[in-house]
Structures are given as structure tokens and as C-alpha cells.
Amino acid sequence: MITLKKLITIAAITLSSSAMAAENYEPARTSSGKPDLQGFWTNASLTTMQRSSNYEGVGLTIPLEQLGELTTNHHQNVRQATDDGQVQGELPTGKDLGRGRGYNAFWVDPGSAFGYVKGEYRTSWITYPESGRIPYSEEGSRLRQENRAKFSGNDGPEGRALGERCIIGFGSTGGPPMNNVLYNNMYQIVQTDDYVMIMVEMAHDARIIPIDKDHRPDAWKPWLGDSVAHWDGDVLVVETRNLHPQQAPRNIAALSDEGVVVERFSRFSDEQVLYEFEVRDPNFYTEAWSGEMAFNATDTQPYEYACHEGNYGLPGILAGARRLEMDEQ
């Protein structure tokens, strides 16, 4: 069993070695000399996009003396250890196998450690504003509320969430910016001189991003947006605009037609890609907001996310709504 003291000691050693590796690190390169971003990566973490009110007194960086306690007492780790008397990786036992078995500890994989970015353990991916919160404007909040009212209901599948309809992953896992969620937090990156492809495990989304090309016409508003990339030295910079109209107000980075998300990918070490992002939109936010995230190398490969094959929830919800309508007549 790892004690809090031992966890703090391990973290201190990791911090020191990581800072040294980043300072002297020379990334593997492709045949054309660009840093090689390819491989399987995961952003599974206890860290969330926005800082929870639980960490208002902590700030962005978790002090080492608090790391063990905050990790052990985090609700996800408590849940993994106690939920329904089960733990992750062990099949449910007992007679009452129906109660609460949809999303108990056995079925989720949110991560068990806080995000480790540039030698620091973080409470949020957002680094600016300092609050770690998205700075919605009054207009932005109003637009989001209007969208929820328009696309929230059981009259037809269009009223249900995009993830529930198997269109894109929930929680902005495909971005931009890409975000960690309750499970399926894996990504595969494949690059050539002309394109970079990011396969998102959740809903099996694929971002196919041209390098050194122009944006498509503004009338084209695909799912996950219109993205183009270029190299800035050893950093791959991706600019995205024109999210699909149904995604734009619901995305974790809601965007209007004037909005843009800029992502930056760089090799921090053999085990990590540093992912930076900035969101700008004069209609949804009072100011630009930005953050940093770690994508960590993994030997695990993603399963096919066969969403539609097991999506009995969507027709069940709509069928239930129709039955309620019949009962009210």
C-alpha cells in the first residue's frame, strides 16, 4: 500500500526528473525532420477543464504536501474503491445485479491521478483566467440557455444530446479543445507531411487536419469544426473555426461565427505531448481563455466505439415519451 508520505516522495522525484527531461529533451523526428507526435495517448485524469470550487483555496498547482490527501479523497477514487461494493476491473457480485449497474465503478475509467503538466500537478486544465473558470459573458450564457431549450426534449431524436445520438462524443472529448471525460479517454495521432489525423476513442471521431492549407468556405460547418494546421518551429499549431451549428453552442468551448480555437501540440518527453489551447469569441466570452493539458503515452490501444450497436437508451427514452403522451390522452 502506498502511504501519503511515499506518494509525496514519488511526486517530488517525478517533478525533478520531468523538469530536467523537458529542458534537455530532443524529440524523435519524422523523415522530414518534424517532431513525431504519432502514437496512442490518453488524457484520463482527475483534473477537469474548469476548476472545481473544492480547490478555490488551492489554486492551479497542487502543493506536494496536499497531493496525497486530495488524490485519496477525490470522489472518483472513493467511488472506484467503494461504489456498490465493487472496484474497477472486478465483475459485480451478489444477487442485486440490476441496481445501479449502468455506470458503477466497474464500467468507468476516469483516471486516478491529477493531471501532471510541465512538472506540476494541476486542479484544472484552464490556466487563464486565474479562476480556472470559463468567462462566459451575459450574452454567451443567454445563447447557451436558448440552445438548451431548443435542443432539449423527447419529441424526436433531435432533442437528445449529440453523444446520446452517437454523432460526436459527449463532454467535448473530440473538442476543440479536446477534453477528458468519464471513460474512453484515448487518442491516436497519425501524421504525414500534409495531414495530421487525431482519432478520438469516444464515438470514434476522427479529426483529419490539413497542414499548410486554407480554411474551407465559411458555409461549411462540419462536426468538430473546420481545422487547418501549420508548424511553428517544433510546435504543431491547429486553428479551428465554424463548428457545426448543433455543436457550436454545446461545445465546452462554445463558438459563434466569429469564434476560433487555437491548439498547440509539442513533444514534452518520450512519454508526453504538451497540449495547449486558446479560445477566442467576442459573443460568448468576456475575454479569451486558455489552458494546458497532458497527453500521456500508453501501451493500451482503443476498442472500436460501436455506439449505435448498443444504443438502446435513445429509442427507449423516445418510446417512454410516446407512452406518457398516450397515457395523458
pLDDT one digit per residue (tens) for the chain, 329 residues: 344 445 444 444 444 444 445 678 999 999 999 999 999 999 999 999 999 999 989 999 999 999 999 999 998 888 888 775 655 556 556 555 444 445 677 778 899 999 999 999 999 999 999 999 999 999 999 999 998 888 778 888 888 889 889 999 999 999 999 999 999 999 999 999 999 999 999 988 999 999 999 999 999 999 999 999 999 999 999 999 999 999 999 999 999 999 999 999 999 999 999 999 999 999 999 999 999 999 999 998 888 888 888 788 889 999 999 999 999 87
CA 285 to chain centre: 20
Q: Does residue 10 sit within a domain?
A: yes
Cβ-Cβ contacts under 8 Å for 149 (sequence gap 6 or more): none
289's grid cell: 481563455
Could you tell me the residue range of the domain that residue 180 belongs to? 4-88+104-299
Q: Does residue 312 sit within a domain?
A: no
Instruction: Give the residue among 72, 63, 64 at the shortest CA–CA distance from 12.
Output: 64
d(CA 215, CA 227): 7
What confidence score (pLDDT) does residue 301 get? 84
Burial class (CB in 10 A: 0-12, 13-18, 19+), 270: exposed
By the 8 A CB rule, do 163 and 311 touch?
no
What confidence score (pLDDT) does residue 127 get? 98
d(CA 49, CA 61): 14
Q: Does residue 99 sit within a domain?
A: no
DSSP labels, 82-131: HGGG--TTS---SS--STT-SSSGGG----SS-EEETTEEESBSEEESTT
Instruction: Give the residue among 197, 170, 66, 179 at the shortest CA–CA distance from 126.
Output: 179
Q: Does residue 141 sit within a domain?
A: yes
Cβ-Cβ contacts under 8 Å for 253 (sequence gap 6 or more): 134, 172, 175, 176, 177, 259, 261, 277, 279, 281
By the 8 A CB rule, do 68 and 59 touch?
no
Q: Does residue 306 sit within a domain?
A: no
Q: Does residue 46 sit within a domain?
A: yes
227's grid cell: 481545422
Q: Does residue 31 sit within a domain?
A: yes
Q: Position 13: which residue type?
A: I
What confidence score (pLDDT) does residue 103 get? 63
What confidence score (pLDDT) does residue 125 get? 98
- Number of structural domains, the chain? 1
What confidence score (pLDDT) does residue 88 get? 55
Q: Does residue 311 sit within a domain?
A: no
Q: What's the pTM value of the predicted model, to 2 decimals?
A: 0.87
CA torsion through residues 41, 250, 76, 128, sign: positive
